[in-house]
Amino acid sequence: MVKVAFIGAGSVEFTRNVVTDLCSFPELQGQFELSLHDIDAERLGYADALAKRISAQLGADARVTSSLDRRTAVADADYVVNEIQVGGYRATRTDFDIPARYGLRQTIGDTIGIGGIFRGLRTIPVLTGIGDDLAEVAPDAYLLNYSNPMAMLPWAVTAGTAFSRVVGLCHSVRDTHRQLAELVGVPEDEIVFETAGFNHQAFVLRFERDGQDLYPRLREVVDGDPELQRRVRVELFRRFGYFPTESSEHSAEYVPWLMRRDQDIERFRIPVGEYLTRSEQNIEEFDETLATLQAEGALDLQPTSEMASEFIRAHVTGAPAGLYVNVMNDGLIDDLPAECCVEVPAIVDADGLHPQAVGALPPQLVALNRTFLNVVELTVKAVLEGDREHVYHAAMLDPNTAATLGLDDIRSMCDELLVAHGDLIPEALRLS
């Protein structure tokens, strides 16, 4: 029997989607155990009821277990799906509210930027704890990570624990490929894509049909659509020559030019504070799904081809699947450091994961990636080395923060956040 463990199983979106997919695969029915873990007993109870309802409704005959003890839940697992958000909505609110008082704007705040740095400080210790657990009780498992900041977490697990079978999964590349196909009016299955970089800052390097470059057609579409030109990722494409994989609201806060001026916020329709709205919607969705479960009504279950589900199916059945994954570089991208975590194409089959090397990035892209890498690397080092000065270094070198605030304000803001997050911050980094 295949054991799939979920850490942070009380998550509305990912648990429901991955479990629905797994229960929808005919070749896996009756062959797997869903082992659920969450630190919140109420949410764990919800996840247990949800997984059992999905299995029953789809006739999957899955065995569902749950535990508040993480090691118990992941012991002997074949796959561990991580979907935690350390500190939940309250911590996210703090990451937005304190910087806003300093005049620092954020949109999503989960990747780099001040929000990404402090989410990393909270989350890296938990992920390295998971890595330590897996090294002891499930050394052959794959840790399939959905949590952000994605570029930090697999790096921290690999560098900070004896466990290295960690794979980051994100929808952004897949969604971007679909969007580009729609923009140029070509069926997606007729297009050859090659995309690489960092998670949330990768670029479509190859965009072809039948050997013909489709970028000229995309430029024609963009040039003819003034409203399309009012999107951040389109502006980055126009300036750097390659289309970025992350949404405009994410991309706006990874660069120094767009978040500090009112006219740019208006011109590019940048939704400041967007993630707070999304978080509140997720809370509402949780309440709605819980009400349906309590009323014993039928769930609306639609397979979503979640990346974790596709990874598991390909590995179990041996039917190869092409995915984009976040793994240690180790020569996959020539002009980025070997030890960092990069996003590249890969094949998953019965023998496991096979990331594909892409060579060197165009110089302007790797230069932009290095500004992203600075923040990621310093945050990882802050936690693994217990060096609070690296928190300040990461903040000072963050593009959006540096473009908006002076050095004294950056340090004061970080100090406020360190105090406000309290015990969620690693002990060595706390202010006494």
* Mean per-residue pLDDT of the chain: 96
Q: What is the pLDDT of residue 372?
A: 98
Given a cut of 90, whether residue 278 has pLDDT beyond it is: no
Categorize the per-residue pLDDT at 14 as very low, low, confident or very high, splitting at 50, 70 and 90.
confident
Please provide the size of the chain in residues.
Answer: 432
Q: What is the pTM of this model?
A: 0.96
Given a cut of 80, whether residue 303 has pLDDT beyond it is: yes
DSSP labels for 360-376?
A: PPPHHHHHHHHHHHHHH
pLDDT tens digits, one per residue of 228-260: 999 999 999 999 999 999 999 999 999 999 999
Residues recognised as catalytic: 171
56 shares its domain with 183: no
126 shares its domain with 18: yes
What is the count of structural domains for the chain? 2
Tokens of residue 148, six digits: 């952000």
Q: Residue 54 belongs to a domain with what CATH number?
A: 3.40.50.720
144 shares its domain with 216: no
Proportion of the chain in helix, strand, coil states, percent, rounded to 5: 50, 15, 30
List the single range of 269-278, 380-389, 394-403 with lowest mean pLDDT.
269-278
pLDDT tens digits, one per residue of 338-348: 999 999 999 99
Task: Report the C-alpha gap between 77 and 3 in whole angstroms.
Answer: 5
More confident residue, 296 or 188: 188
Given a cut of 80, whether residue 284 has pLDDT beyond it is: no
Categorize the per-residue pLDDT at 96 as very low, low, confident or very high, splitting at 50, 70 and 90.
very high
Residue ranges making up the domain that contains 160: 2-168
Q: What is the pLDDT of residue 131?
A: 98
354 shares its domain with 228: yes
335 shares its domain with 407: yes
pLDDT tens digits, one per residue of 48-68: 999 999 999 999 999 999 999
pLDDT tens digits, one per residue of 187-238: 999 999 999 999 999 999 999 999 999 999 999 999 999 999 999 999 999 9
